[in-house]
Amino acid sequence: VARLDEERAVRLLERMLAPTGTHPEHVLLGIGDDAAVLTAPGGKLVWTVDVNVAGVHFDLKWLPLLDIGWRSLQAAASDLAAMGARPLGAVSSLILPPGFSSQRLARLAQGQAQAARELGCPIVGGNLSRGGELSVTTSVLGSARRPLLRSGARPNDELWLVGDVGLAAAGLGVLQRAARTRSKAAGRCVRAWRRPSALISAGQQLSGRARAALDVSDGLGKDAARLAAASGVRLVLVESRLRGLLRPELCSVAALLRKDPLWLALEGGEDYALLAAGPRARRPRLARPIGRVERGTGAVLEHEDGRCSPLESLGFDHFRR
């Protein structure tokens, strides 16, 4: 029996679920990007789904139910942000373990409702079931005139980062190591992990300027490699540029955790920043240059001395944890 990892399973599903011929005309983009793109009568729809399972994606010890609700919607909406889409709404499907009280359900739903208000993304439907463990599956639908795909980066494009990376991983590290710190920096990192925000408005600003984008959910290293693969190019992330963008809070907490802050930025997931590529002249103000697109394949980190390290092996895989 073959071992199943996430990339392998996704490829298998793509193969199995591809229709015998091609998709019907209204399906502009199926499995493989941040979200699917459909034409409905009169416009383009962007549609995706995300799941959070207790014990896999989060530990109930470190994440209050309010934040589980908040994060589940923000994480799903982040795929819309990466496409430059405006949210239309969400449907939420909950599996609740035995003994899950209505009080706990109310806190979870309150977190979802808070995120829905912040995002302008109302929860319009849902489903409930009993099951062995808590899980929250969130499907979000948005509209976009020209959805921003992963596949459009071209050689000579600049590589842009929108939002911060590494803070969420540092925050999770603080919680996991039960690091006894009440520092402001640690609090900021914990909050980045517990209360991420999908960069919807930034995604819309990128749209029309960037040629390709994705959201950084599994670590900048791994997601850069995905963008490179989807666009058929090589991405070069410049270490000095990245180091220059790291937040002081991240550097301070990284020291506490005895980790390189750059490693947290490249390897740590769940930041929901956006990585995009586009012509230098069209870079929007909120995007910070962190490297370049070249002919070739893969994603690398270019060190100060000019040497390059491959980034594919970094990043984490929810599926394996």
Binding to its own copies, residues 4-43 (CB under 8 A): 4, 6, 8-10, 12-13, 16-20, 23-24, 26-27, 29-31, 35-36, 38, 40-43
Closest CB 38 distance from its own copies, rounded Å = 6
Type of residue numbered 211 = R
Q: Is 286 in the site for its own copies (CB under 8 A)?
A: no
Closest CB 85 distance from its own copies, rounded Å = 12
Which one among 62, 100, 263, 316 touches its own copies, defined by CB under 8 A? Answer: 100
| Span near its own copies by CB under 8 A; candidates 97-105, 202-210, 237-245, 269-277 | 97-105
Closer CB to its own copies, residue 113 or residue 179? 113
Closest CB 305 distance from its own copies, rounded Å = 40
Q: Is 81 in the site for its own copies (CB under 8 A)?
A: no
Q: Is 129 in the site for its own copies (CB under 8 A)?
A: yes
- Range 135-174, binding its own copies (CB under 8 A): 135, 137, 139, 141, 143
Closer CB to its own copies, residue 128 or residue 255? 128
β-pairing, 43-53 vs 273-278, is unpaired
Burial 263-285 (b: 16+ CB within 10 A, else e): ebbbbbbbbbbbbbbbeeeebbe
Closer CB to its own copies, residue 87 or residue 278? 87
Closer CB to its own copies, residue 13 or residue 255? 13
